[in-house]
Amino acid sequence: MKIDILAFGAHPDDVELSCGGTILKEIHNGKTVGIIDLTKGELGTRGTANTRATEASNAASILGVSFRKNMSFSDGFIVNDKAHQLEVIELIRHYQPDIVLCNAIDDRHIDHGAASKLVSDACFLSGLIKIKTKSISSEVIQTPWRPKSIYHYIQWKPLTPDFVVDVSEYMDKKMEAVMAYSTQFYNSKSKDPETPISSKNFVDSIRYRAADLGRLTGVAYAEGFNAERLPAIDSLFDLK
């Protein structure tokens, strides 16, 4: 199953929070997108692995992605080793994405940086012909595949992006996908313990961060990304 974009998140909701608008826009433009959650978010203070799974499914439907898969890696203890790299390589070779989106290169949650490096390393290793992996659905040896580009979305820390995507038309739908995680984010009626992401301020910050990136680039709302290599354009007129 060849797709255009494969978006990885350490936890269910990472993708929606950080690049949901970009995914919505690319799907609207006719691109195929899939989401891979590395963990079930089972260590989260609010909700459970089961409620997170239901919320992730609902959010995926709102975004309109082609599929969503959970790797069931250990929440809070993501490890960048050969065993985990090979599991990610199998997915990259199976879906053959041109672009991979993944966690922030540096962030407050330890899983985010670990997932970022794990996925980045797996993308490189996936292109090596001497690494042998078998198809997910059969015993057939997979063909090596290396994505053309890896872009890291921005999460808790206010990292300076290398480029931004105008998501002005998709901000409301993005917020709908984010709020599908009803156990995780602000709910005035919730009796669950408060967390750094359960406050109204955090939910508001999603929109005002996008608005600030938009302000800096002349649009209403934007999402920022860091690139692993210097982005290139064909013409000065491609820049807005």
Contact 224, 161 (CB under 8 A): yes
- Number of domains the chain is built from: 1
CATH of the domain at 96: 3.40.50.10320
Question: What per-residue confidence (pLDDT) applies to 105?
Answer: 97
Q: Model confidence over 153-204: pLDDT tens digits?
A: 999 999 999 999 999 999 999 999 999 999 999 988 888 899 999 999 999 9
CA 47, distance to chain mean position in Å, is 20
- DSSP letter at 230 equals -
pLDDT bin (cut points 50, 70, 90) of residue 14 is: very high
- Give me the mean pLDDT over the 87-101 stretch: 98
CA distance 38 to 94: 16
* pTM of the complete model: 0.95
Domain range for 9 is: 5-238
Specify the pLDDT at position 1: 83
Choice between 129 and 239, residue whose per-residue pLDDT is larger? 129
In 3-state terms, the chain is what percent helix, strand and coil (to 5)? Answer: 40, 15, 45
Q: 7 pairs with which residues across the strands?
A: 35, 101
Average pLDDT on 37-57 reads 96
